[in-house]
Amino acid sequence: MKTSNYVIYFHIPETDEFYLVHGYTGAVDLASPEAIGYLLDRVDPSHTWHTKDLGIVREAIEGRTLGPISDDTIDMLKSRGYLTEMSSAEELRYVEKLAGFLHNRNIKHSRPNFMIVPVYECNLRCPYCFETDTRVELGKLKILQNVMTEKMVDAAFTSMDVILKQRSGPEGAEKAYITLYGGEPLMLETLPMVEYIVRKGLDENYRFGAITNAVDLDHFLHLLGPEKIGFLQITLDGPREAHNKKRIGPRHRQGTYDRIIANMKSALKTGVRISVRFHVDYTNISQVKELIDDLENEGFQQSENFDVYTYPIHGFHRGKSTPQYPLMAIHQMQRELNPVLPGLPTLGQRGSEYTGRDSEGGNGRKLKVMVSDEGIQSKLRAYVKDKLPGLYANGMEPCAATIGLYIFDSLWRIYTCWDTVGIAGHETGTYSPGGPVLNTMNDDWLQRSPATIDECKQCKYAFFHFGGCASLPIGADKSIFAPACYEFQDNFLYAGQSFFRRGLDDVLQMSGPETETQPQPLGVNYGEAAH
């Protein structure tokens, strides 16, 4: 027997504990150094894909005198998949088939998602915007400022209805979701058409959200609310001074911070939910706490419909394999924020969670700030609780683009990824009053999973990452069937350490009633306390 190629190893230096996670069997276990050493001695030396965790634990047990492990521990290692009789090639084929099955199941059981791009123009000129090159090219063609017409909107809704019925049957249109995107979808120039889109969508039982810079949001208040545009993602680049250096435009050369703050306050009165995306890099990450304090001084913690999450500017979409200073990866953001936000390791839905000071408004609420970790801790929690089905239910796909996202733009074109909208050659189809016409590129997006990416088949993180963001290799002029690893291995190891730093008792508590899926102490002498 050999050690499975899909074992993920963790060492917690503070407690000198070792944890094992198996990438497809659902096993999660606390292990003794002896059990770790036993597995390391049986690793296939020809398997070298994503093995940084092996180096970390080898260094952790180096120089130790390791005794033998018991037959019971060996049996447990076998039963939980850490030791396997499969060859490396057989394991790879097993993962390929399993990933293909789960991906096809995802497509079958998921409802298509839709986005509408009313215009590619934007009223801001943020220096890091990944759409800058696209906007320049469209400007040269004199079509950048083309706003959707009523005829185009009608055709888009016809096409969405066709897609929904193909995927979901006659009742498919019930409560489907549309995100308004751009360019900037909510600016004064698009107001009449957005009014038409929302009115028509509500008549057909669609729900709405929007990704907006909120600069002209005050003109759209009558379209906001739980039964209208119910969700807004709005970006801030830090407190006032830092934000105003980046998020500027031809009509807003002095910055947009105060305008956005005022517009968010007005918007919250409609009942809309707002999630603020704080773009961080090494130039402004030290100001996270200052932004939180400023938002609390403005009273945003008094609304239960308001939260903030941080996300790094990384440059991967421009073909960079690693972030170049001052850009950063997610694990670097987490490291930088640990000393800034006390209590950061608290587990949250999207990553680590920090809650600010008590509000002074008397309702006891705190401002919730989420620090993204690509959902890794949430996935580990689901994996501990319910094995692979838990991970599946938590959402395996990196985004909706690989299971059915259809983006209708202002030029009669359909895309499936918001990072590639407007880029010539990346259309996945066209639409017209007669409905959608999808091409083979749409098929490629729907086929993308670890089952069709050679590197992903042999990756121990395959079911936690599931191929990653397809736009990243595309941005580097690679195939859609190339992996999007980038910093995920480092992100997983860092977030996983934060997860297991809680200790076995807390991990067990997360998994609910005791079942065979719960972590087991492998070769650890807990005496009568052992399960």
Q: With bands split at pLDDT 50, 70 and 90, how would you rate the model's confidence at 347?
A: very low
Structure tokens of 275?
């999630």
For the stretch 274-296, what's the b/e string if a residue is b when 16 or more beta carbons lie within 10 angstroms of its beta carbon?
bbbbbbbbbbbbebbbbbbebbb
Question: What is the predicted pLDDT for the residue at 261?
Answer: 98
What integer pLDDT is reported at residue 7 of this predicted model? 98
According to the model, what pLDDT value does residue 316 have? 67
Q: Averaging pLDDT over each range in 17-31, 307-321, 322-336, 497-511, which range is the top one?
A: 17-31
- Residue holding tokens 């980038």? 486
CB atoms under 10 Å from CB of 425, counted, come to: 6
> Of the spans 34-38, 106-110, 313-317, 358-362, which averages the highest pLDDT?
34-38
Q: Are 18 and 57 in contact (CB under 8 A)?
A: yes
DSSP three-state, residue 371? strand
Q: What is the identity of the amino acid at 387?
A: K
**Mean pLDDT computed over 346-355:** 49
Task: Check residues 321 and 252 and name the one with the higher pLDDT.
Answer: 252
What pLDDT score does 528 carry?
Answer: 24
Mean local confidence (pLDDT), 146-169 = 93
Q: For a pLDDT cut of 70, what percent of the chain falls above it?
A: 89
| pLDDT confidence of residue 516 | 46
Averaged pLDDT score across all residues of the chain: 89
Beta bridge partners of 522: 31
pLDDT exceeds cutoff 80 at 504 = no
Under 8 Å between Cβ of 207 and 239: no
Long-range CB contact pairs, 198-202, < 8 A, 24+: 198/223, 198/228, 198/229, 200/153, 200/154, 200/157, 201/157, 202/227, 202/228
Cis peptide before 183 (omega within 30 of 0): yes
Give the pLDDT of residue 325.
Answer: 87
Better pLDDT: 168 or 313: 313
Longest dimension (CA), the chain: 76
Q: Residue 525: its pLDDT value, please?
A: 42
Highest mean predicted confidence (pLDDT) among 110-114, 253-257, 413-417? 413-417
pLDDT grade, residue 526 (50/70/90)? very low
Cβ 308 vs Cβ 292: under 8 Å: yes
221 secondary structure, DSSP code: G
Q: pLDDT-derived band of residue 531, with 50, 70 and 90 as boundaries?
A: very low
| Selected residue with higher pLDDT from 429 and 317 | 429
Model pLDDT for residues 107-143, shown as the tens digit of each residue: 998 889 999 999 999 999 988 888 888 888 998 989 9
The predicted model gives 469-485 an average pLDDT of 90
Query: Is 280 a residue whose pLDDT tops 50?
Result: yes
| Alpha carbons 130 and 122: distance in angstroms, whole number | 13
> How many H helices and E strands in the chain?
18, 18
Q: How confident is the model at residue 231 (pLDDT cuts 50, 70, 90)?
A: very high
Which tens digit of pLDDT belongs to each residue from 190-209? 999 999 999 999 999 999 99
Q: Kindly tell me if the per-residue pLDDT of 161 is higher than 80.
A: yes
Contact between residue 457 and residue 451 where contact means Cβ atoms under 8 Å apart: yes
Cα(162)–Cα(430) distance, integer angstroms: 13
Residue 253 is predicted with a pLDDT of: 80
Q: Is the pLDDT of residue 483 over 80?
A: yes
pLDDT band of 291, cuts 50, 70, 90: very high
pLDDT beyond 60 at 412:
yes
- Tell me what the mean pLDDT of segment 509-521 comes to: 58
User: Out of 13-17, 334-338, 412-416, which region has the weakest mean confidence (pLDDT)?
Assistant: 334-338
Q: What is the pLDDT of residue 350?
A: 46
> What class does CATH assign to 105-395?
alpha beta
pLDDT exceeds 60 at position 349: no
Residue 407 has pLDDT above 90, yes or no: yes
DSSP lists the bridge partners of residue 353 as 370
Residue 254 to residue 243: CA distance in whole angstroms: 10
From the list 489, 484, 476, 415, the residue with the least C-alpha distance to 453 is 484
pLDDT value for 170: 54
Flag whether pLDDT at 2 surpasses 80: yes
- Per the document, the length of the chain is 531
What mean pLDDT do residues 516-531 have? 47
- Higher pLDDT: 258 or 506? It is 258
Answer yes or no: are the C-beta atoms of 158 and 435 closer than 8 Å.
yes
What pTM did the predictor assign? 0.91
436: helix, coil or strand? Answer: strand
Of the given ranges (97-106, 155-164, 389-398), which has the lowest mean pLDDT?
389-398
Residue 49 CA: distances (Å) to CA of 202, 280, 431, 457:
49, 30, 42, 10
Q: What is the mean pLDDT of residues 347-363?
A: 49
**Strand 17-22 to 28-31 pairing:** antiparallel
Q: What is the b/e burial string over 198-230, where b = at least 16 CB atoms within 10 angstroms of the residue's CB? A: beebeeeebbbbbbbbbbbbeebeebbeeebbb
Q: What percent of the chain has pLDDT over 90?
A: 73
* The pLDDT value given to residue 130: 82
Q: Please, are residues 42 and 83 in contact by the beta-carbon 8 Å criterion?
A: yes
Q: For residue 376, which phi and psi values (nearest 5 degrees)?
A: -65, -45
Over range 468-494, report the average pLDDT: 91
Task: Give residue 364's pLDDT band: very low, low, confident or very high (50, 70, 90).
Answer: low
Judge contact between 95 and 457, C-beta under 8 A: yes
